Amino acid sequence: MYDFSRCKLCTEKSGVPTYKLKDSTVYACDSCGFHYINHLDTMPSESPDEADSPLTQKAWDFIEGKLIPNGKQLRKNLRIVQEFSRLSEAQCLDIGAGAGLFSSLLSEEGASVYGIEPQRVFREFAQKKFDIALNAETIDDAFWQKGFADFFDVVTLWDVLEHVNFPTETLKEAYRVIRPGGRLFLDTPCRDSFVYKISEWSYRLSKGTNPLLLGSLYSPKPFRHKQIFSLDQLVQLVESIGYTVVRANYSPLKPQNKIVLVCQKPDGAHNE
Ligand SMILES: [Zn+2]
């Protein structure tokens, strides 16, 4: 059991339960100011020979219905990747590939694509819809860490960092599989957003009875949001791991309110 008084970002024992929501508590770190909830996911333990496919018609319709709204954002993300990396013949890894749409976009551009998706229902969808085989092994697995060290030209983490149990580890594990000179692209919600700040004020003024959107920004349900970075926290974190930040975007006025980072593993950087 993880001791949530230990900050998930700076690892100091400075985490203080600060916002008590309906089904979780947001901890704020006294040392570094990081915000995270008191919940970790357990990875699904499915055996591949499990008889019943989770991809029912209902699940198929649900996932397919999400592809169109998600597709707009992912096509924008594809253009960001193309600004920095030539995709034809590039080796790409999409971590948190979901239904496989971004992987299929990369593939259309001529890239060799690997994708990681822990939920079997999405992997089966990606296989049937896009003919893309996603991997169940998460990025910490020796399959990637040993088999693909210094390998990828492009690694993407679209909407992933807010979902994983330990974002620092995920960023380090991604670093190891990127080749020197290769790039990491990511987006994640931003705590500098107006919505977040207003929700904090509302929580305090109402003595906890009205947290506005804090309750929907965080959730202990599986694979939901567990932490939300400020732009400065995230930039400092990736730099401490060894990445060079090539671009850091955050626009507080945009409705999506996400951080977009483009990072590079320096030329000549090798794993120990
Ligand atoms: Zn901290």
Domain chopping of the chain, boundaries: 1-39+209-228, 68-190+230-272
272 has pLDDT over 80? no
Distance 173 CA to ligand 1 centre (A): 20
Distance 27 CA to ligand 1 centre (A): 10
255 has pLDDT over 60? no
In CATH, what is the architecture of 68-190+230-272?
3-Layer(aba) Sandwich (3.40)
Average pLDDT, the chain: 93
Question: What pLDDT is recorded for position 256?
Answer: 64
Mean pLDDT of 52-58: 91
Mean pLDDT of 152-171: 97
- Which of 163-187 are b and which e, b meaning 16 or more Cβ less than 10 Å from the residue's Cβ? bbbbbbebbbbbbbbbbeebbbbbb
Question: What pLDDT is recorded for position 270?
Answer: 65
Distance 228 CA to ligand 1 centre (A): 13
241 has pLDDT over 60? yes
47 has pLDDT over 70? no
Report the distance separating Cα 116 and Cα 100, nearest Å. Answer: 9
Q: Kindly indicate the confidence band of residue 68, based on its pLDDT and cuts at 50, 70 and 90.
A: confident
> Which contiguous run of DSSP H or E holds residue 29?
strand 25-29
SS3 160: coil
Distance 13 CA to ligand 1 centre (A): 8
Question: What pLDDT is recorded for position 46?
Answer: 62
- In this predicted model, what pLDDT tens digit does every residue of 88-100 receive, in sequence order? 989 999 999 999 9
Report field, pTM of the whole predicted structure over 0.75: yes
Distance 5 CA to ligand 1 centre (A): 10
Closest CA to 156 of 82, 220, 71, 54: 82
Helix residue ranges, H only, 85-119: 101-108
Q: Kindly indicate the confidence band of residue 249, based on its pLDDT and cuts at 50, 70 and 90.
A: confident
Distance 35 CA to ligand 1 centre (A): 8
30 has pLDDT over 80? yes
Considering only residues 49 and 61, tell me which one the structure prediction assigns the higher pLDDT.
61
